[in-house]
Amino acid sequence: MIPESWLAQRCGAVEVSGVRKIFELGKSLANPVNLSIGQPHFDVPEPVKAAAKAAIDAGQNGYTVTQGIPELLAALRADVRARFPGQERDVIVTSGTSGALVLAMLATVNPGDEVITADPYFVSYPNVTALAGGHLVTVDTYPSFQLDLNRLADAITPRTKAVLLSTPSNPTGAVIDAATQKDLADLCRARGVLLVSDEIYRAFQYDAPHVSPGGYDPNVLVVEGFGKTYGMTGWRLGWAHGPKRLIQEMAKFQQFTFVCAPSVVQHAGTAAMNYDVSGIVADYRRKRDLLVAGLKDHYEFTVPGGAFYLFPKAPWDTGTEFVTEAITHNLLIIPGGVFSRRDTHVRISYAASDETLHRGVEILRKMARR
């Protein structure tokens, strides 16, 4: 046993992931109905695999330029120019979207600074903020999960350094509409606060075209990724774009932490930029509708506009108690308290086969009648 004095204070500020705890529980179950995993159930597209294999065979296995290989940077910059016309945005390739968020916090947050987010929030937000010495401030969005800009404005203090939001959201699937995005960008600009927009689920938006607050302000930092869109979560490839000075500072921190995104995967990412995922997205919209239809008469929830999660209210007891009972039925879902100051809801992932979804719906309907 090592002395506690050996450990940095930040160890106590960073929590063990509640999602990982459910993964560990799942290992003890035989053939569980797994609706807990936040990753696509489809395999990496063949052209993307082929590009990774070709890069290995061509000897592209060493370090790359910190900011990203030229081919991928060129493709990403072209994409940014097309979606954000007239803006001067720089780009950095990162080791996953989480890597981009870590770099962003290290480059902007001082000890004691505050970062505001919506509650519910992605599980890493409190922890990447704490890693930089900051404190996460939450703005409640229950029960609709729509952002109230008046509440957010009231939460801004002289200590506020950034607002960090995801759209579509993990865990709720909620989407921030275009009008609110514009008002959000205007608010942050007026109050001198950095806006960080986590858009890892940008491709998975079902009922309206995706809108980024970055379209209204070139100083918004936008974080995106390849993992969810192309089923390559374990390959760790993300990217960010925003004001040149901030991207340069993120690149400096990457040089001495991650060094660079995985070299082979960057070549795969270049190929992925040309792969059409519209069929996959349409299939996930169908899965959303399947889950919504199966549970709408048994659970209270807001229909998600994106991502691949449903966030219903537990029909009895707390979210944690409901999930504990679900495990006895061989069903894996995540308690909402992992993503929130409240423990009233549960997160259900529909990134699964139809067979698994049907089995999950049957168990959930049975549990709702307890």
C-alpha distances (whole Å) from 255 to each of 94, 248, 251, 326 are 11, 11, 6, 44
Is the bond preceding 213 in cis, omega lying within 30 degrees of 0?
Answer: no
Strands (E), the chain: 33-34, 90-94, 114-119, 135-140, 160-166, 194-198, 221-225, 238-242, 309-310, 331-332, 334-335, 346-349
Please state, in angstroms and rounded to a whole number, the distance separating the CA atoms of residues 127 and 324: 25
C-alpha distances (whole Å) from 363 to each of 170, 188, 329, 368 are 23, 44, 7, 9
Which tokens sit at 156?
A: 């801004």
- What is residue 26's predicted lDDT score, i.e. its pLDDT? 66
Regions of the chain short of the pLDDT cut 50: none
Please state, in angstroms and rounded to a whole number, the distance separating the CA atoms of residues 55 and 61: 8
**How many residues are there in the chain?**
370
Angle of helix 96-108 versus helix 244-255 axis, rounded to 10: 110
b or e along 290-306 (b: 16 or more beta carbons within 10 Å of the residue's beta carbon)?
A: ebbebbeebbebbebbb
- What is residue 11's predicted lDDT score, i.e. its pLDDT? 86
C-alpha distances (whole Å) from 42 to each of 160, 190, 227, 283 are 40, 43, 11, 11
β-pairing, 160-166 vs 194-198, is parallel
- What is residue 9's predicted lDDT score, i.e. its pLDDT? 86
Which letter does DSSP use for residue 184 in this model?
A: H
Which amino acid belongs to residue 51? A
- What is residue 15's predicted lDDT score, i.e. its pLDDT? 79
CA-wise closest residue to 294 among 351, 366, 365: 365
Which tokens sit at 8?
A: 């940095």
Which tokens sit at 341?
A: 């100051």
| pLDDT tens, position by position, 153-211 | 999 999 999 999 999 999 999 999 999 999 999 999 999 999 999 999 999 999 999 99
In the chain the domains, ranked by start, together with CATH numbers, are 4-44+277-368 (3.90.1150.10), 61-272 (3.40.640.10)
Which amino acid belongs to residue 77? R
Which letter does DSSP use for residue 300 in this model?
A: B
